[in-house]
Structures are given as structure tokens and as C-alpha cells.
């Protein structure tokens, strides 16, 4: 019998050295101290979104369940690692439809 993962999944320590500080946490502290950022806003170095949808039945513009994975860099050893995995939804879009320049004639 397999157990179901519980979301969100949070990884508070670097898998290499066990460090708990990350580059974005350190930078965020500096910005908060200067009054340029709010403490309660979550940040991460990078994020990936993995939608789960049947490719043969995709209807663009509909919402699909997705894993949202956030990554950061250890402030002690520089290891790039996953810090959080959430469940969410994303709107499916046709390939190449994002960030397309809008030309005016």
C-alpha cells in the first residue's frame, strides 16, 4: 500500500549540507530591512509549472491540475534544490502563444 503525498511539500534544508538559508531569503531580508519589500510575500529563485492533461484531448483555454515546483540556491554551499511543491491549476495555452510580440501595422 502506497501513501499519498501531502501538499504542500516543503523542504527547509539543503539536501547537500543541511543549510537552512537560501540566496533569496538573504536578499529578501536586505530588502525588508530597507523597507522595499514585505516579509509576508513568498519568494523563490525559480518556479516550474507542470500541467497534467491528456495531450490528445487538450482544449486550449481550459484549466488543468498542475504541480507548481519552486527552487532556490543554498546560501551555504550553492546547491540548487527544490524548496516547495504545491498543487494548483493552470490555463492551457497553445504552444508559442505566450510572450508573443504584438505587431501593429
pLDDT tens digits for the chain (105 residues)?
Answer: 678 889 999 999 999 999 999 999 999 999 999 999 999 998 889 999 998 887 666 666 778 899 999 999 999 999 999 999 999 998 877 666 554 444 344
Nearest Cα residue to 80 out of 6, 10, 24? 24
- State the DSSP code for 46: E
Rg from Cα positions in the chain:
18
- pLDDT, position 105: 40
Q: Answer whether 87's CB lies under 8 Å from 63's CB.
A: no
- Asked if 89 contacts 66 with a C-beta cutoff of 8 angstroms, the reply is yes
User: Bridge partners of 50?
Assistant: 67
At residue 16, the pLDDT reads 98
Strand order through the sheet with 46-51: 9-10, 80-91, 63-73, 46-51
Amino acid at each position: 500500500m502506497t501513501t499519498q503525498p501531502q501538499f504542500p511539500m516543503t523542504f527547509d534544508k539543503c539536501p547537500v549540507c543541511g543549510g537552512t538559508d537560501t540566496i533569496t531569503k538573504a536578499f529578501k531580508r536586505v530588502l525588508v530591512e530597507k523597507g522595499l519589500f514585505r516579509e509576508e510575500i513568498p519568494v523563490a529563485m525559480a518556479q516550474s509549472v507542470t500541467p497534467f492533461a491528456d495531450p490528445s484531448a487538450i482544449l486550449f483555454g481550459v484549466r488543468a491540475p498542475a504541480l507548481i515546483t519552486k527552487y532556490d540556491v543554498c546560501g551555504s554551499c550553492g546547491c540548487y534544490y527544490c524548496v516547495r511543491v504545491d498543487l494548483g491549476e493552470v490555463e492551457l495555452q497553445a504552444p508559442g502563444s505566450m510572450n508573443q510580440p504584438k505587431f501593429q501595422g
